[in-house]
Amino acid sequence: MMVKWLKSPLHQGPDPSLIYRPDMGTEAAKDKGSFRNYTSGPLLDRVFATYKLMHTHQTVDFVRKKHAQFGSFSCNKMTVMEAVDMLDSLVDESDPDVDFPNSFHAFQTAEGIRKAHPDKDWFHLVGLLHDLGKVLALWGEPQWAVVGDTFPVGCRPQASVVFCDSTFQENPDLWDPRYSSELGMYQPHCGLENVLMSWGHDEYLYQMMRFNKFSLPPEAFYMIRFHSFYPWHTGGDYRQLCSQRDLDMLPWVQEFNKFDLYTKCPDLPDVDKLRPYYQELIDKYCPGVLSW
């Protein structure tokens, strides 16, 4: 598929969301720039500022410190549904598409998956869970260390990273010879499990799910960990780091991305009617009070 190149002083690379799109209705198909538009719109200044801070401060040292800070999961004790409710007060400052609380997006995503994959209840739950790591922003973490597209630290950012050409100039790792080449500190095809990703809600929730021993299949953990890694799952970059397992899991992440991205709309779901079904799934796969 031909990639649309963005003619903007903010970003000279391809819009990664245009490489992979699910089947869309007639109205949505008329305007392919309606999602992940990083060149115009009322939220653009806020979005660019968030990515500028992210791409300046997300370094190898910073990410390692965040793993140490949050790796004991001693911030809070709460159930999954309590965490969902906390997202009522969060609006994602990196998202150019929506400006409503993140909790609604969780149910929108889950319901989209449920409709398309009625036989995979674990997949429905992934839709509800996928952004719960954003509670970090409600505990004092800046949004540039919580939200937005992720990318590997410790190597040179590749072309499909959002705002790649205009936001990394002040990142010290780009001037460090250990981290500034295409492979940086990694070996070819080392596997994404051995790559240090930029810190945010994906990595935090993935680690939290492992800590609390969620009984979900490996595909679910993979979707959670890499759903914001757009430069990989839609941009086609960072293949030099991938193992065969990564490539085998990629279609699952891409399938999830359909619903994460294209279920966003201002028609908000009736959450009260949906809660009993999703509570049953929580009780099945990740019950009780959890460590966050």
User: What are the φ/ψ torsions at residue 119 (nearest 5 degrees)?
Assistant: -90, 0
Query: Are the C-beta atoms of residues 117 and 171 closer than 8 Å to each other?
Result: no
H or E segment to which residue 123 belongs: helix 121-129
How many Å apart are CA 169 and CA 105, to the nearest integer? Answer: 33
Q: What length is written for the chain?
A: 292
Binding-site residues from annotation for substrate: 36, 92-94, 134, 148-149, 227-228
Distance set, CA 141 to CA 12, 69, 239, 243, 248 (Å): 30, 11, 31, 32, 34
Binding-site residues from annotation for Fe cation: 105, 130-131, 201, 227, 260
Residue 202: CB partners within 8 Å, gap ≥ 6? 133, 150, 224, 225, 226, 227, 228, 229
How many Å apart are CA 49 and CA 177, to the nearest integer? Answer: 27
CA dihedral 73, 137, 41, 233 (to 10 degrees): -10
SS3 of the chain: helix, strand, coil, percent, to 5: 50, 5, 45
Binding-site residues from annotation: 36, 92-94, 105, 130-131, 134, 148-149, 201, 227-228, 260
Phi-psi region at 227: left, alpha or beta (left = phi > 0; alpha = psi -120 to 50): alpha
